Amino acid sequence: MHYSLGIDAGGTYTDAVLVRDSDGGIIDSNKALTTYPDPLAGIKKVIDGLNPEYVENVKLVSVSTTLSTNTILEGTGFPVALILIGDHPLEKEFPTEHVLLARGGHNHNGEEVFSLDLEAIEKFALSVKDKVSAFAISSYFSTRNPEHELKASDCVLRLTGLPAVCGHELSQELGAYERAVTAFLNAQLIPITRQFVKSIIADMTERGINARLLMLKCDGSVIGIRDALKKPIETIFSGPAASLVGASYLSGLQTCAVVDVGGTSTDISSIRIGVPDLSDEGAIVGGWKTRVRAIRMETTATGGDSHIWTVDRELYLGPRRVIPLAVAAVQYPDFLNNLRRTPMPPREDLDENIQPTKFFVRSGYAAGELSKVEAEVLNVIGDEPVSIHEIKSLIRKDLHPQTLDSLIKRRLVQAIGFTPTDALHVLGEYTAWSEEASRIGAERLARLMRMTPHEFCTAVKKRVARNMALHLLSYILQGVPYTAIEKILDGNYPAKFRLGIPVVLLGGPVRAHRKELEELIDAEILVPDHAEVGNAVGALAGKGIKRVEILIRPASLMSPDKDFLVFAPGSRLRYDAYTEALNAATEIGKKLVEDYMKDCGLSGSQIEISVEKKTVSPDGWNHPPMETNLLVMGVGMRGLHIEG
């Protein structure tokens, strides 16, 4: 009996699911806290919690993760040098100080405009090779002829031994600037993704598992490990893509909206007739616009681990993530006593960091350059949680909240506080951790709000549901201002929206929010079986999808009946006759699709290939098309049919 293993390494939890290959039945699942700064320990722990008899017979492992996204958002990627060839827009901002503009490039027909200045590239590569970990190369009109990018890449590899990413490998769309940024971000992620994949392979090897390894892409399709290592940029947002694909499979719905409530954030997306809704624009990551196709998504920084705090009897939710009190009491043996004996701070001192339920603990990240005050504070925060009161006593002076803010932003310190997860523990709707720690926290904050602990936790739960409803409606009602939706929901005569699309909820304790959401939105709201590990299911259920776009044009409009150029990914070819060019382009597209599917472990009847042809010709044009756009699309399925 063979099995498949799906793993999702999220911001808070790492989930795993085991599926029986013969009938697609889910036979085991597990959750573990994601570990920082290295997620490998969390992955080991989540697999350790699965039945070892099944694990040793795993033949396929598919992974989704927020690793790529977080690396870019946090600005923790490796240093990269950028080589721009040809007529690039220099007024634009680039994400690195190591930039070379080299002579070269091609025109729209793929003909060389200027010869490549290899001497300048050689000099630049040698000057920065000890300052960077990779190179990104983007040549003008490289989608029509990649020759200069390939020559520059060979040169860099020969002189430095470092990897080089070419823009044409990542996108066939025009847009030199976005393609350059995409190549840069991809180069940043190569060392990180390589280490991540190596870690998973090492764990699989240690367990004696001989399995094919796949990763989920941000459009909901899977990618073979070779492509994942070459193009890690395509795995950004793979976590939200996994939730979307997983929700569709678990609910049996081909068309639905999905609300995935994680520990760190809530992601909203949708799928139509089995195909994820993709953004018309390239994915924007950390403010940088890319040429990467990704799902259309609305994200709110509200999750089960969002910080709940109060000032002047106002309740605040997030946006920062903290370790819930309930979890901290299990992780740190003396924390419960510390929580009980910590004095209440004066009401006038309260802010986000000064709360009767807020504590701080050292993270695993290495400290860089710190100010004198930051170093003093960090020095008294150790491996056991401490309160503001304790920090002040240890440094023997007053503490400015901005100092803690700086240490938290730099990930040197992790905060602990009251969260929606704690509220559910008090209400008895989710009790995986310490109920007593949550109850003590609720009593302290409820006193400040002049409520009972039950009233306070109910208010928190309603606030979470309202946030979910607002962001779901904002996603569905594209173009309607967020403030307008708020006014309708919160007005004197609140309206209830009716949605004609089913809504699937995913996440650990997500069932607890279903009733409150139904009070705000009139829709079919479903919580499928295995909703708590839906992302791990999605990592397995992702289809193999490969899109190959090929352009055919006459070499010259002066002789439109002969001499045709074919612009395919990574190549520029020439044919005498149009039919010859069309046939060759179709075969090239099919071959690229089949090779991709082979890396995903798919072949033969598991793959469906379609060819779509669009032509452009002016009125009265009695020649072969002036332009032919060929889209060769392959969809591969592994025959996964999820059962309860």
Compute the distance between CA of residue 236 and CA of residue 219 in angstroms, rounded to an integer: 9
The two tokens of residue 620 are 């009265």
The two tokens of residue 50 are 């699965």
State which amino acid sits at residue 639: G
Compute the distance between CA of residue 182 and CA of residue 218 in angstroms, rounded to an integer: 14
Compute the distance between CA of residue 78 and CA of residue 87 in angstroms, rounded to an integer: 27
CB neighbours of residue 578 within 10 Å: 19
Residues of the chain with pLDDT under 70: 37, 67-77, 89-91, 170-175, 218-220, 231-237, 280-293, 493-495, 543-544, 637-644
For 315, the enclosing helix (H) or strand (E) is strand 314-321
* pLDDT number for residue 287: 61
Q: Please, is 488 exposed, middle or buried when counting C-beta atoms within 10 Å of its C-beta (0-12, 13-18, 19+)?
A: middle
Convert the pLDDT of each residue in 472-509 to its tens digit: 998 888 888 888 888 877 777 666 788 889 999 998 88
* pLDDT number for residue 642: 43
* pLDDT number for residue 358: 94
* pLDDT number for residue 24: 79
Peptide bond into 625 cis (omega under 30): no
Compute the distance between CA of residue 167 and CA of residue 153 in angstroms, rounded to an integer: 11
Compute the distance between CA of residue 454 and CA of residue 434 in angstroms, rounded to an integer: 17
Task: Enter the DSSP assignment of 174.
Answer: S
Contacts of 6 (CB under 8 A, 6+ apart): 16, 17, 19, 61, 62, 63, 64, 536, 537, 538, 539, 540, 541
* pLDDT number for residue 286: 57
The two tokens of residue 500 are 């004609």
pTM: predicted TM-score of the whole model, two decimal places = 0.72
Reduced to 3 states (helix: H, G, I; strand: E, B; else coil), residue 356 is coil
Closest by CA position to 538, among listed 68, 64, 213, 13:
64
Compute the distance between CA of residue 147 and CA of residue 158 in angstroms, rounded to an integer: 17
* pLDDT number for residue 143: 79
The count of residues in the chain is: 644
Convert the pLDDT of each residue in 393-411 to its tens digit: 888 877 777 888 888 877 7
Helices 372-380 and 401-409: crossing angle in degrees, nearest 10, is 80
The two tokens of residue 639 are 């025959």
DSSP for 6-75, written as a single string: EEEE-SSEEEEEEEETTT-BEEEEEEEEPPSS-THHHHHHHHHTS-HHHHTTEEEEEEEESHHHHHHHHT
Reduced to 3 states (helix: H, G, I; strand: E, B; else coil), residue 553 is strand
Reduced to 3 states (helix: H, G, I; strand: E, B; else coil), residue 539 is helix
Convert the pLDDT of each residue in 446-475 to its tens digit: 999 999 999 999 999 999 998 889 889 988
* pLDDT number for residue 443: 96
